Amino acid sequence: MIAVYIIIGIVVILLIMVIATYNGLVRLRNQVKNAWAQIDVQLKRRYDLIPNLVETVKGYMKHERETLEAVTKARNLAQQASSSGAGERAKAEGELSSALARLLVVVERYPELKANQNFLALQEELTSTENKISFSRQYYNDSAMKYNNQTQMFPSNMVAGMMGFKASEFFEVTVAEERAAPKVSFP
Amino acid sequence: MWEQIRSNRIRSAILVAGMGALLLLLGYFLGLYFFDSTTAGLIIALIVWVMMLLIAYFQGDGILLSVAGARKIMRDDHPRLYNIVEEMRIASGLENMPEIYIIDDPAPNAFATGRSPDKASVAATSGLLQKLNRDELQGVIGHEIAHIKNRDVLLMSLAGVILGTVVILAWYATRIMFYSGMSGGRRSSRSGGGQGQIVVLAIGIILMILAPIAAQLLYLAISRKREYLADASSALYTRYPEGLASALGKIATSTTQLKSANKATAPMYTVNPLREEGRAASDLTSTHPPISERIRILRAMAGASVADYDLAYRQVKGRTGIIPVSALNDSGDLALRAASAETEPAEESTEKVKRTRDTSELMWRLGNYRTLVCECGTKLRIPPTLRAPNVRCPHCGRSNELT
């Protein structure tokens, strides 16, 4: 009789452990999803900012049409890539980031532009959006690493395997070198 | 950070229970004195206690913010501060955006308050906005967001309000006792005067002693460990400990003292605001670890993870680490990032002018002043109380109409 109770006890304890692990995994997976949504919000915000920026800058930068075109093109490509996987998306966004960085370097040559209130406000928004993208990416990657560790480490990997928890992809932006970025010729 | 959160809960409970005991004791003696009945006093004390708890819980942050003279700002009032708070919210994984407040004070400092991570506020002084560049401000705001994320804020606002009430109650109680004692102690004289007088006198003395002790308890409750942890979290969020280190350096060398800070609100601030006027803040204070030490630890960090902070702490202090083991386990290898463009020395001076201008614009606007630009380019600040139909420009003498 005692043996039966012991077995029942062990089963109950195991069940509780499995449930706790499962819930922990679900919580982490939701955190990862949530973090991904945050990146999405910030990337969309950047798509919205760029036409505004190009419009403001255009009047001042008569000789930089190529740079501006490159930014617009990179933005459109990134927006198209937004429905594909993390890897491909990260690449497109990385190119957009470097195109923007090049534009902001060029801006330094135009002091009148740097005195424009409208531009200054936009620049603050853009800087902050860039930061928000990298912070949301950072939080996403941290969450993904925590989640992946749980799905791969013993004993939680057993529960993860049974319930179909799959490791999530990291969002690594390989910031392309200026030379490596695609040259866009203006027709 | 779960260990820290649990220890905060326990501390909050102890604080609240201790306060209750103090009040019941007070009620017991007051009842004995004024009503000749200890039960009546106890009931009154109980009611006061519950009311105080409710006020501290639901209004604590509001009270502290108004005591500090903080005013709420919206996104357009100061986009840069708003953006930085949002950046840190994202980096910390906090779900709700905290409310942002500004205190009009040239001394650079900041604090966070609130009930829970869902309902919290961050307050910064105008001096902080003027003196710090983007990276530094990010470090300080990261520190405040860490207090919210680690649930330090509820304890802080609870402690602040409770302490304030104790001080006020003790003050009034001793006053009442003093005057009624002078007029011969109406009620106590009925039940054998002399003894009652002595008891009352004793309570008065006890209360006067207890108020500063309660303050001391609060100072201990808001421990240094919490500050170190918030520093570690700030470095983790920003991946740039140098930002906070250099901000702390600027705050430490500032010699202006925060006007609105007092003993009850001091533990909330990033850096203890109650140092002596004209003296640098690097001296030892009990609520905050010495700034120089915090800076040394931050600068000794080899990476941005909590484990790196722990290592740097051990290097500087030569003691066992500060971070709970549970928090150390799941922190991986995190590299530091480079400084942002604004930190470059060449940019610093023009940035400083712009920052100062932005902040003073904001303060004028928050004071409901209107800004009128005269044709000669002079900016006229029109106070909200001015009723005249037009105002003369002091620079060129043109008359500007107020519409």
**A and B: number of Cβ contacts within 8 A:** 42
Per CB-CB distance under 8 Å, the chain B contacts of A146 are 330
CATH of A2-162, one of 1.20.1440.20, 3.30.160.100, 3.65.10.10, 1.20.1260.10: 1.20.1440.20
Query: Nearest-CA residue of chain B relative to A132?
Result: B87
User: Range with the lowest mean pLDDT among A125-129, B158-162, B393-397?
Assistant: B158-162
Name which of A68, A60, A42, A64 is nearest A130 in CA terms.
A42
What pLDDT is stored for residue B324 in this prediction? 62
Of A35, A124, A149, the CB nearest to B83: A124
Q: Give ∠ CA A84-A134-A180 in degrees, rounded to 5.
A: 65
| A142-149 contacts, C-beta under 8 A, 24 or more apart | A142/B332, A143/A28, A143/A31, A143/A32, A143/A35, A143/B93, A144/A32, A144/A35, A144/A168, A144/A169, A144/A170, A144/A171, A145/A170, A145/B332, A146/A28, A146/A31, A146/B330, A147/A25, A147/A28, A147/A29, A147/A31, A147/A32, A149/B330
**Residues written for chain B:** 403
Interface of A with B (CB under 8 A): 31, 35, 38, 42, 121, 124-125, 127-128, 131-132, 135-136, 138-139, 142-143, 145-146, 149
| Confidence class for position A180, pLDDT limits 50, 70, 90 | very low
Which residues does chain A have within 8 Å of residue B80's beta carbon, measured at their own beta carbons? 124, 128
Contact at CB, A139 and B87, closer than 8 angstroms: no
Residue A17: count other Cβ atoms within 10 Å of its Cβ: 13
Tokens of B205: 């003395």
CB contact under 8 A, B86 and A128: yes
Residue in B79, B92, B134 closest to A121 by CB = B79
Do the bridges between strand B119-125 and strand B99-103 make them parallel or antiparallel, or are there none, so unpaired? Answer: parallel
pLDDT at B325: 59
Q: How far is A62 from chain B (nearest CA, A)?
A: 25
Q: B190 versus B300: which is more confidently predicted?
A: B300
Could you give the count of Cα atoms lying within 13 Å of B109 in the half-sphere of its Cβ?
30
Q: What mean pLDDT do residues B305-325 have?
A: 75
Residue of B nearest to A38 (CA): B90
Q: Do B83 and A138 count as a contact with CB atoms less than 8 A apart?
A: no
Give the span between the Cα atoms of A94 and B337, in whole angstroms: 17
Residue A8 pLDDT exceeds 80: yes
Q: Is the pLDDT of residue B317 over 80?
A: no
pLDDT over 50 at B283, yes or no:
no
Provide the pLDDT for residue A6: 93
At residue B185 the predicted structure's pLDDT band, cuts being 50, 70 and 90, is: very low
For residue B71, the cross-strand partners are B102
Domain ranges for chain B, please list them: 1-225+260-270+338-363, 368-403
> What's the pLDDT at A173?
62
Catalytic positions of B are: 144
Q: Would you call B373 an interface residue with chain A, using a CB distance cutoff of 8 Å?
A: no
| B170 compared with A152, residue with greater pLDDT | A152
Residue-level pLDDT at A13 = 93
Report B:188-227 residues touching A (Cβ under 8 A).
Answer: none
Compute the average pLDDT of residues B100-112: 89
Q: What is the mean pLDDT of chain A?
A: 82
Which residues in chain A touch residue B84, judged by CB atoms under 8 angstroms apart? 128
Taking the C-alpha atoms of residue B52 and residue B24, their distance in angstroms, rounded to an integer, is 13
Do the Cβ atoms of A125 and B90 come within 8 Å? Answer: no
Q: Which amino acid would we find at residue B181?
A: G
Facing A135 at nearest CB: one of B79, B90, B134: B90
Mean pLDDT of the residues in chain B: 75
Nearest to A135 among B87, B330, B332 (CB): B87
Q: Does the pLDDT value for residue B218 go beyond 60?
A: no
Interchain CB distance below 8 Å, A124 and B84: no
Per-residue pLDDT, averaged over B21-30, amounts to 70
Q: What is the pLDDT of residues B219-276, one digit of tens each?
A: 555 556 778 888 888 998 998 999 999 999 888 887 666 666 655 566 667 666 665 4
CB atoms within 10 A of CB B283: 13
Q: Which chain B residues have a beta carbon less than 8 Å from that of A127?
A: 134, 340
The Cα–Cα gap between B299 and B309 comes to 10
> Does the beta-carbon distance from B80 to A124 stay under 8 Å?
yes
- Listed by start position, the domains of chain A span 2-162
Query: Percentage of residues in chain B with pLDDT exceeding 70?
Result: 61
pLDDT score for A115: 78
Mean pLDDT (whole number) for B398-403: 75
CA triple B311-B233-B263, angle to 5 deg: 105
**What is the distance between the alpha carbons of residues B283 and B298, in angstroms, rounded to a whole number?**
18
Query: Which pLDDT does position A174 carry in this prediction?
Result: 56
Cα–Cα distance, B25 to B27 (Å, whole number): 5
Nearest-CA residue of chain A relative to B88?
Answer: A135
